[in-house]
A and B are shown apart, each in its own frame.
Chain A
């Protein structure tokens, strides 16, 4: 199979590059575009740390062949960071000690961003459901759930 020319918009910037067949969105982001916030944890869609947005939906970018989303709009954690300071979710994670090793944090924040975009005033259950595909091995989740609820309150 030949390589494909991929044109996607990533964090507002139009990107054009060549991808070998089977290249995942995660691989393209990290290795081709140098956007390393999304992490490769399990590589099989069970840990969630590669979570990004494709056309506004939270997806596991390790499961998405990039050639199948040609023309799409992609957003990564880098794209949620304002020019100055931190986004409300980033600030809430920082203030609420919602990170330890930090490996799950990019996926957690992107899952939460997708939730708050469609549901600005989520219940605790909504938050739990939104991050149920994201594994954290350090925190016990409670501080993450609280941080997302605090960010929702701060922005609504």
Chain B
């Protein structure tokens, strides 16, 4: 009886967005009277950080500080339309729509500043701290707060922009089946180190080493958090979670969180995660989607590591102690 160690890897190519009847998202950007810019979206932030990323993209495009951006995702009845946050599409679709809206708002902002400063809009630039200034001059400038007040109360101008990103529907070629189903492909690889107890059948994931190519990580720390949270979900799918462990029988199925197995804080694997960036031509500042793919590679990597450790090839999740022991019995019987 022994604890057997093994290593396995798996790689994933994952599409960003989808291709049903076309895949659009809209964004509206407008300045308040105090120079804050509201990004209106119907896209939902489930905790993945979409609002943070949308604000970063808006700030970068407008040339204003991040603190000046208010992302409003309050109401799908009144907000500009979004297909939703799924298919790893949020950053890509919303980011592109926000860039388009923020570019139009920036043009309106510079036009208002040009009128207020009595210069040509093409000679103006933003300095990233909140000022719109004449290129090459330190004197001729106006702060966005003063500009927004002037635009509203004196110039009678709006500072606003509209944006949409549409991934058009792509029909397959009837002869070849060729089509354009997604906007980009992100890539990842996970190497899993496991230990298998050949007496109890228990698999322990010792470490997961993850590498992700996501175009550009607009917020690298949040991307890393998604990678490691997703890898944890991968471990959970691989080793623990089952609504119907003896499907199609309902026997021993969990009825609540107390009976639904998930790894807890004591079951963590050592995680190591790196991000590689090859900006995508059609992505917002080069970003592809990450989201769903983070739970994908860990599962086959763990299965391959179990095979490496003890020779048992598991093809049904979760990889329970029972399935490991039955596999070991079969190996012994056929030896």
Contact = CB atoms under 8 A, between A and B. Distances in A.
B285 interface: no
Interface string B15-26: 000000000000
Contacts of B228: 139-140, 142-143
A134 B266 CA distance: 12
A99 B224 CA distance: 13
Contact of A97 (B222, B262, B266): B222
A68 B258 CA distance: 25
10 tightest A-B CB contacts, nearest first: A101-B47, A140-B232, A100-B47, A141-B265, A46-B257, A46-B258, A128-B265, A128-B266, A140-B229, A138-B229
Contacts of A137: 233, 262
Given A97-B225, A135-B262, A102 B47 contact: yes
Nearest to A144: B265
Size range of the chain B interface in the assembly: 20 to 34
B265 A46 contact: no
B264 A100 contact: no
B256 A46 contact: yes
Contacts of A41: 257
Nearest to A138: B229
Contacts of B48: 100
Size range of the chain A interface in the assembly: 20 to 34
B303 interface: no
A139 B264 contact: no
Interface string B155-169: 000000000000000
Interface of B: 46-49, 221-222, 224-226, 228-229, 231-233, 256-258, 262, 264-266, 268, 271
25 contacts: A41-B257, A42-B258, A97-B224, A100-B49, A101-B46, A102-B47, A127-B265, A131-B265, A135-B257, A135-B262, A135-B264, A138-B47, A139-B228, A139-B229, A140-B231, A140-B232, A140-B271, A141-B232, A141-B264, A141-B265, A142-B232, A142-B268, A143-B225, A143-B228, A145-B265
A132 B265 contact: yes
- Residue of A135, A139, A142 with highest tally of chain B CB at under 10 A: A142
Interface in A69-92: none
Interface in A121-151: 127-129, 131-132, 134-145
A8 B47 CA distance: 34
A100 B225 contact: yes
B208 to A, nearest CB: 10
Given A44-B256, A100-B48, A138-B47, A132 B264 contact: yes
Contacts of A140: 228-229, 231-233, 268, 271
Interface in A36-55: 41-42, 44, 46-47
B257 A100 contact: no
